Structure formats: structure tokens, C-alpha cells
Structure 1
Amino acid sequence: MRFLLPVISSLFELRRPPVRRVLLKQIYFTGNEAAWIMLLIGFALGGIVVSQLHDQYGQSREAAMRLLAALSFRELTPLMVGLVLIARSSSAVASELASMRVHGELRSLMRYGIDPVGYLVLPRVLGMTLAATLLGFLLALSAQLGGAFFVSGVDATYQLFQMDRIVTPAMVGICLGKSALFGFAASTLACVVGLRAKAYVTEIPKASSRAVVRGLVLVFLLDLIWAVMS
């Protein structure tokens, strides 16, 4: 909580062009460069889930697609987004901030009157949160596409046109909300770990490792809490 309050209070820093540039770069790195990964994972995930439901458990095509939508939008997609972001972006953010701390760049920023939270933390947290939300929606759609292609082959268009009957606004809201929550949690934890690293070169890889391990634990705990409270 002591770390979140400065982040929230520094939102007005977004009016500064340098902060907005850092934000856009973070969105590009986290979202755009990971989009193809999410497309592949989602397509494969949809095919795997539908194949198990249809072949192993005897579900009809329509029932398999409905179950896939419920599983992907409510649970699998946000969790996969959180795991990919932790492995790909949280480690990078933690090591970057730890490196800046080791090489004295944080002290230089404060010496020039630049708030490290507003310039370094805010755009990374906000960028990863926004990117996670968009990636979650993209992953869920690609999972539906993979499932439709598996059950119908070249006639997958018919299954896709039925999505408005299968996917409800509540499912989309849960998917976006959980993806944003996991992205926010992973990015905030990565920034905390990076900024709290000791001023030794050996702390840089340790910060990256801590961000990944603690991020995984945090995301699964949040997912469990969400499941219990819903």
C-alpha cells in the first residue's frame, strides 16, 4: 500500500511528454511484441480444450464450444496472460530497474528533480496493465478460433458466427478484469523488486528471478481469491 499511493498520486505526470513516451514504449514491448505469442497460445489452447471435451468426454460441438468459452474467458485466458507477462515482461522490468539502481541512475534522476515513481514506475505499471487487458481479449478470441477450427475444420466460420450466443458480456468483463488485475499485480511487484535491489551487480539477475517467482505466487493467489469470492 505504501508503494501504491505514490503511483496513484503521480498520475498527473502523464501530462509530460517523456512519461507518455515511456508509457507507449512499455505498451509496445508488452503488448505488440507479445501479440503473436498470444495468438499461437490461444489457438493451440482452444484446440486442446475442445479436443479433450469432444473426443475424450463425448461433448457435442456446440457444448464443447460453450465450455471452451466459459473456461477461456473466465479462467484460462487471464491466467495465461499473467504467466506470459511474468516470464517475459516482469523479469525485464525488474532487471532494468535493478540495473538503474546499481549504476546510480536513480540518484541522478532525483538529483535533477525527476520523480522516479512518476517517470519509471507509473508508465511501466500502467503500460503492462493496459497491455495485459488487450492481450487477454486477444488470447480469448484466438482460443475460440482454435476451438472452432478443430471442431469444424474449414467450416469454422459457422461456429464463429455463433459466438454472440456463446460469449456473454459478463464473460468478457471477467476476462478483461482479471487480465488487468494480473497485469497490474505483476508489474507493481516487478517495480518493487527492482527498486529495492541492493547496489551490487549480482543483484540484477537476482531481482529478475525474484520478480518471476514472487509474481507467479501472487497471480495464483489472486486467482484463488477471485474464485473464492465469485
Structure 2
Amino acid sequence: MLRRLFSPVLDPLSGLRHAPARRVLLKQIYFTGNEAALLVLLVGFALGGIVVAMLHGQYGQSQEAALRLLASLGFKEISPLLAAIILVARSSSAVASELATMQVHGEIRSLYRMGIPLGGYLIMPRVLGMTVACVGLSFYLAVAAQLGGALLGAGADVTYQVSELDRMLTLEQVLTCMAKAALFGMGTSLLACHVGLRVGPYVTDIPKASSRAVVRGLSAIFVLDFMWSLWLS
């Protein structure tokens, strides 16, 4: 009974036992996460400095209060959202284009005829890879924002502010950041795979799939974020 209930999830995951599927997963994590890490760190560092400078300079918040507010907003809202947007811009279009190209050239049909499970070889490694990468990028961005806010807004108290960062963070903030990032990563990756596999037989459909994956991915991020807020309200 349980096997039948969870078979839509367990069957694609079982494909990861095979080396080709694991290679696809690792390549997806590398392309989605590792290659975007520097960009995410720079964005997070700049964002933290800007937010703390505005809160301290324009709204009269103390530096410690500004950093606390940045920690709450950064981990719970800004970092998962920005990381998911970067993920969609870089990876959703690439995944949709890759799968659309395989579909147009008949590679999907060939895999199906050879008995290779599409869910375990094509879809699950990409979905899991983008989800893991989104969680990592979101955490990197949030930490970089805190460091940027501490370094650019602390003045002469840099050492003290950096040492106090762990006291300003809570486990709830970190878990919320990772959970939202996982939700965004899974939703956008599933959409990208769906769009890529639903193209027509023409080569001109490939760029259309890439564009649709980005637009639908961005829309899904904000819809999921809105639903998350309603659920917690």
C-alpha cells in the first residue's frame, strides 16, 4: 500500500542508483550552484551593505537593530527570493532548452524506446540538483548579506559586529530560508522540465520553451511566496 502511494516519488529516485543519473545530478548541482556562487556572494554582500546603510542613515536605526532586521528579512524573505530569481534566470532556461532540444531531435523518443525511465534519468536529477543548489545559494546569499551589512555599516566596530552575527541569527530563520529555497527550487525546476518536454516538433520551439520557462518560473516564485505568507499569517 505504501509502495503504491509513494511510487510517483520513489520510482524516479530509484534511478539515482545508476551512475549516468548520478552524473547528471552532480553536473546539475555544479552548473546551477557552483558556477553561480560568486555572483550570489557579490549580490548578497552588496545588498547587505545597502540595506544597513539605508536603515542606519535614512531611518535612524542603530547598527545593531539594522543588522537584526536584515537577518530577519534576509533569511526569511529576501535571500530565498533573490536566489530563486537568479536560479530561474540562469538554469531554468538552460534546462528547458536542453530538454526541448532533445525532444525536437528525437532523443527523448529514443530513450523511451530503449526502456530508460525518463523520470529517473532526465527529470529527477535536474529537479533534485536545482533544489539543492537553490538551498545552498539562498544560504550563501543570506550569510553574505549579513557580512556585507556588518562590514560596510559597522565603521570602526567591524570585529565586534562580525563576532555578534551568530547571536543575531536564530534556528527558525535559517530553517525558513532553507525550506523556502527548497520550495522555490523544486517548483521552478519542475516547471522548466515540463516546459522543455512539451515543445512542438520544430527547432523554432526551442527558444520559445526557454522564454516560457523563465516567465513561468518567475511567476511561480511569487505565487509560492504569496501562498507561503498566507499559510503563516
Common fold: TM-score over 0.5: yes
Alignment of 1:92-131 (within 5 A): 92-131=94-133
Q: Deviations over 1:21-41 (max 9, x none)?
A: 100000000000000011001
In the alignment, the residues of structure 2 paired with residue 210 and residue 154 of structure 1 have an alpha-carbon distance, to the nearest angstrom, of 49
Alignment of 1:39-188 (within 5 A): 39-153=41-155, 155-188=157-190
Residue 18 of structure 1: which of 13, 17, 20 is its match?
Answer: 20
In the alignment, the residues of structure 2 paired with residue 101 and residue 214 of structure 1 have an alpha-carbon distance, to the nearest angstrom, of 20
Q: Given residue 95 of structure 1, which amino acid in structure 2 is its aligned partner? A: S
Deviation at 1:155, TM superposition (A): 4.0
Query: In 2 relative to 1, CA 194–7 (structure 1 residues): closer, same or farther, beyond 3 Å?
Result: farther
Q: Deviations over 1:154-200 (max 9, x none)?
A: 64232121122210000000000001110111100000000011111
Residue 30 of structure 1: which of 29, 32, 38 is its match?
Answer: 32
Partner of 1:203: 205
Q: Deviations over 1:24-62 (max 9, x none)?
A: 000000000000011001001101111110011000010
Q: Deviations over 1:49-107 (max 9, x none)?
A: 11110011000010000000011001000000110001000000001100000000001
In the alignment, the residues of structure 2 paired with residue 17 and residue 81 of structure 1 have an alpha-carbon distance, to the nearest angstrom, of 29
In the alignment, the residues of structure 2 paired with residue 173 and residue 10 of structure 1 have an alpha-carbon distance, to the nearest angstrom, of 26
Q: Given residue 97 of structure 1, which amino acid in structure 2 is its aligned partner? A: L
In the alignment, the residues of structure 2 paired with residue 121 and residue 143 of structure 1 have an alpha-carbon distance, to the nearest angstrom, of 33
Moved more, 153-162 or 124-133: 153-162
Q: Which runs of 5+ in 1 are unaligned?
A: none
Q: Identity of paired residues, percent?
A: 62
SS in 2 for 1:58: coil
Query: In 2 relative to 1, CA 208–199 (structure 1 residues): closer, same or farther, beyond 3 Å?
Result: same
In the alignment, the residues of structure 2 paired with residue 5 and residue 38 of structure 1 have an alpha-carbon distance, to the nearest angstrom, of 36
Which aligned segments of 4 or more residues in structure 1 are displaced greater than 2 angstroms?
Answer: 4-9, 153-157
Partner of 2:3: none
Number of residue pairs matched by the alignment: 227
In the alignment, the residues of structure 2 paired with residue 5 and residue 213 of structure 1 have an alpha-carbon distance, to the nearest angstrom, of 31
Kindly report the root-mean-square deviation, in angstroms, between the aligned alpha carbons of the 2 structures: 1.3
Moved more, 145-154 or 73-82: 145-154
Deviation at 1:111, TM superposition (A): 1.7
In the alignment, the residues of structure 2 paired with residue 5 and residue 96 of structure 1 have an alpha-carbon distance, to the nearest angstrom, of 27
Give the conservation status (yes or no) of the 8 Å contact 2:151–2:162.
Answer: no
